[in-house]
């Protein structure tokens, strides 16, 4: 555990080292935040509600996404694909560490900084734009949110890891990752609440793992789901973690046999 | 001119070969772009299931803003993609070899990579634009269509200027292509009508990073909502901006120290 803590600390330090990259990464989030904020504000300006959401709920959704995605959506496992493709993956095989947890703690260090930045951005925008956001004070809901967010983090990491392992079979793993990332952005509800989509599309997405990454935790925060829907959501998260986890293990074992260290 | 077309054609043939030899990547990137485009379109359609207008615009009017954003964004991705490789060219010293070639180094640097996937993607976007304009059922005069096309070209010239400035700054700083990435992120603002934004943001994205001028002016001109003085302003801004970008490029070339070669 000590060595993974060291990885976590190094990852934090690395983010501070490449400050410009970090700021550019955050800038993208800020522009998307502004875009969505103004879209929803324009839609709720007249009546104060839209698609069953109050103006306050929609704005909280946008700001909540900014915070939640900063914790959940990482890019470290993308490095796994490029490491496999260029052969630098070999060095991990000779080191006394588990690469899964190594990448995870490296991701966690990076995410910690992004989380602090996202909270800071939200506070700044709430003040500048003079918006009224919903602050959840119910301790039970906040605890449930913590559990749902932790499961989202685990599910995203496993999904991302699985896609990156395509690199064991093909040197063209970055294209599928691009496809995966864009599908995930939308299907997770990171751009808009999935419930504004038509019933059939929404139901289709509800059985995929993506909706439980962003949409579900924020709906929980806004208290827009019943206790049964909460239990169903947590259940879906656990089921998908188990399915993707088992797949990861299988693909890892197969992939290691296939790995040739090409590019060393 | 003929020589440059031949160079561009040859570079594009090389790019096609590369895309064809990486079929999984190419297919995934293309499909990823389709998904991004499709989901935003789905968002607009879903929004209009609950309302009749967004900032005073109807569904197909909002879609035309979105499509014009895509037209210009994808056009730049298709034809100015080489600029994304420029940072490494400078950093590794490979730009020295470009300077020795019997071709304009700026032209070569910008067009050395043609994104065939984006070129293909331009076709459905153009079809969608024609379909949407047809769907709007408005009687557009010749002047409106002429202004739309002219302002799209003016927008493309401004985008080219931004790419040249990015290349110029890269030569000075030797490390980063931040300007072009800042432009990419800012273009997101152009997906929706400018009236949804605050006055301050409209000012910033018209005069400082002219996304609104690039994307919204053509559409508003087509709808007859753009005063003629703004069309003249766009032309003057774009030409001046392009001229300044060329000056900066020439200045940067003098400053280029070939540090890594």
pLDDT tens for each residue of B222-243? 999 999 999 999 999 999 999 9
| Residue B165 DSSP SS3 | helix
B192 and A43 within 8 Å at the Cβ level: the answer is no
A178 and B28 within 8 Å at the Cβ level: the answer is yes
Confirm whether B143 is domain-assigned. Answer: yes
- Residues in chain A closer than 8 A to B46 (CB atoms): 192, 196-198
Number of domains observed in the structure of chain B: 1
Q: What percent of chain B has pLDDT over 70?
A: 97
Of the candidates A210, A58, A117, A37, the residue with the CA atom closest to the CA atom of residue B192: A37
- Residues in chain B closer than 8 A to A32 (CB atoms): 188
Residue B140 has pLDDT above 80, yes or no: no
In B, minimum Cα distance to A199 occurs at B46
A175 and B196 within 8 Å at the Cβ level: the answer is no
Mean pLDDT of A189-195: 92
Mean pLDDT of A81-100: 83
Which residues are paired to A53 by β-bridges? A50
> Mean pLDDT, chain B, as a whole number?
89
A176 and B24 within 8 Å at the Cβ level: the answer is yes
**Which of A38, A41, A175 lies at the smallest CB-CB distance from B25?**
A175
B133-136 long-range CB contacts below 8 Å, 24 or more apart? Answer: B133/B64, B133/B222, B135/B60, B136/B58, B136/B60, B136/B61, B136/B64
Confirm whether B7 is domain-assigned. Answer: yes
What pLDDT is attached to residue B2?
83
Confirm whether B108 is domain-assigned. Answer: yes
Confirm whether B212 is domain-assigned. Answer: yes
Structural domain including A243 reads 2-258
CA B16 to chain centre: 21
In A, minimum Cα distance to B185 occurs at A28
Contact A218, A191 (CB under 8 A): no
Residue A139 has pLDDT above 90, yes or no: yes
Q: Which residues contact B169 (CB under 8 A, 6 or more apart)?
A: B176, B178, B179, B248, B252
Structural domain including B111 reads 2-255
Confirm whether A264 is domain-assigned. Answer: no
Is residue A76 very low, low, confident or very high in pLDDT (cuts 50, 70, 90)?
Answer: low
**Which of A20, A178, A197 lies at the smallest CB-CB distance from B178?**
A20
A38 and B24 within 8 Å at the Cβ level: the answer is no
**Which of B27, B42, B196 lies at the smallest CB-CB distance from A197?**
B42
Phi first, then psi, for residue A53 (nearest 5°) are -105, 140
- Residues in chain B closer than 8 A to A182 (CB atoms): 32-33, 35-36, 39
CA distance A248 to B7: 47
pLDDT tens digits, A35-59 = 889 999 999 988 889 989 999 999 9
Min Cα distance B31 → chain A (Å) is: 7
Residue B131 has pLDDT above 70, yes or no: yes
Phi first, then psi, for residue B57 (nearest 5°) are -105, 145
Residues in chain A: 264
Confirm whether A180 is domain-assigned. Answer: yes
Contact B197, B189 (CB under 8 A): yes
CB count, 10 Å around CB of B189?
Answer: 25
Confirm whether A19 is domain-assigned. Answer: yes
CA distance B106 to A110: 37
Confirm whether A263 is domain-assigned. Answer: no
| Lowest mean pLDDT across A72-81, B207-216, B245-254 | A72-81
- Residues in chain A closer than 8 A to B22 (CB atoms): 172, 175
Residue A102 has pLDDT above 90, yes or no: no
Give me the torsion for CA of B30, B35, B36, B40, rounded to 10°: 150
Confirm whether B260 is domain-assigned. Answer: no
Number of domains observed in the structure of chain A: 1
pLDDT tens digits, A146-170 = 999 999 999 999 999 999 898 888 8
What pLDDT is attached to residue B238?
96
Residue B175 has pLDDT above 80, yes or no: no
Mutate to test the interface with B, among A35, A190, A210 (most CBs of B within 10 A): A35
pLDDT tens digits, A175-191 = 888 888 889 989 999 99
Residue B123 has pLDDT above 90, yes or no: yes
ipTM above 0.95, yes or no: no
C-alpha separations of A61 from A40, A193, A238, B7, B87 in Å: 10, 8, 24, 50, 38
């Amino acid at each position: 555990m000590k060595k993974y803590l060291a990885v976590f600390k190094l990852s934090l330090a690395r983010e501070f080292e490449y400050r410009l990259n970090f700021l550019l990464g955050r800038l993208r989030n800020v522009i998307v935040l502004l875009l969505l904020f103004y879209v929803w504000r324009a839609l709720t300006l007249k009546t104060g509600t839209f698609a069953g959401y109050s103006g306050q709920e929609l704005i909280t959704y946008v700001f909540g996404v900014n915070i939640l995605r900063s914790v959940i959506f990482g890019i470290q496992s993308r490095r796994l694909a490029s490491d496999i493709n260029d052969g630098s993956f070999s060095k991990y095989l000779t080191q006394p560490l588990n690469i899964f947890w190594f990448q995870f703690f490296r991701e966690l260090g990076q995410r910690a900084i992004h989380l602090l930045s996202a909270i800071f951005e939200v506070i700044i925008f709430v003040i500048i734009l003079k918006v009224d956001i919903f602050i959840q004070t119910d301790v039970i809901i906040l605890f449930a949110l913590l559990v749902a967010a932790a499961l989202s983090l685990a599910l995203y990491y496993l999904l991302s890891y699985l896609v990156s392992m395509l690199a064991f079979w093909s040197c063209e793993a970055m294209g599928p990752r691009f496809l995966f990332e864009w599908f995930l952005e939308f299907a997770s509800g990171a751009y808009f609440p999935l419930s504004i989509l038509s019933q059939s599309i929404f139901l289709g997405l509800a059985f995929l793992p993506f909706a439980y990454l962003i949409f579900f935790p924020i709906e929980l925060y806004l208290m827009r789901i019943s206790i049964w829907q909460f239990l169903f959501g947590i259940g879906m998260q656990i089921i998908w973690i188990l399915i993707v986890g088992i797949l990861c293990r299988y693909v890892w074992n197969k992939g290691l046999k296939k790995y040739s260290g090409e590019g060393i | 001119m003929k020589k440059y077309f031949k160079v561009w054609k040859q570079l594009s043939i090389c790019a096609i070969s590369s895309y064809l030899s990486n079929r999984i990547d190419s297919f995934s990137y293309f499909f990823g772009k389709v998904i991004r485009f499709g989901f935003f379109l789905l968002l607009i359609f879903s929004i209009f299931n609950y309302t009749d207008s967004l900032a005073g615009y109807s569904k197909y009017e909002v879609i035309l803003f979105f499509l014009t954003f895509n037209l210009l964004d994808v056009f730049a991705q298709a034809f100015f993609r080489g600029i994304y490789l420029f940072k490494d060219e400078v950093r590794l010293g490979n730009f020295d070899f470009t300077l020795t070639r019997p071709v304009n180094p700026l032209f070569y640097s910008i067009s050395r990579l043609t994104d065939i996937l984006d070129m293909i993607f331009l076709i459905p976007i153009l079809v969608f634009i024609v379909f949407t304009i047809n769907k709007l059922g408005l009687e557009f005069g010749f002047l409106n269509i002429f202004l739309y096309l002219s302002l799209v070209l003016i927008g493309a010239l401004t985008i080219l200027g931004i790419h040249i400035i990015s290349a110029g700054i890269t030569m000075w700083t030797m490390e980063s292509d931040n300007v072009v990435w800042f432009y990419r992120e800012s273009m997101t603002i152009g997906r929706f009508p400018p009236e949804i934004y605050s006055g301050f943001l409209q000012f910033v994205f018209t005069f400082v990073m002219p996304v609104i001028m690039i994307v919204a002016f053509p559409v508003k001109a087509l709808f007859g909502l753009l005063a003629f003085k703004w069309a003249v302003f766009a032309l003057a801004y774009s030409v001046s901006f392009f001229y300044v970008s060329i000056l900066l490029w020439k200045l940067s070339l003098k400053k280029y120290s070939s540090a890594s070669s």
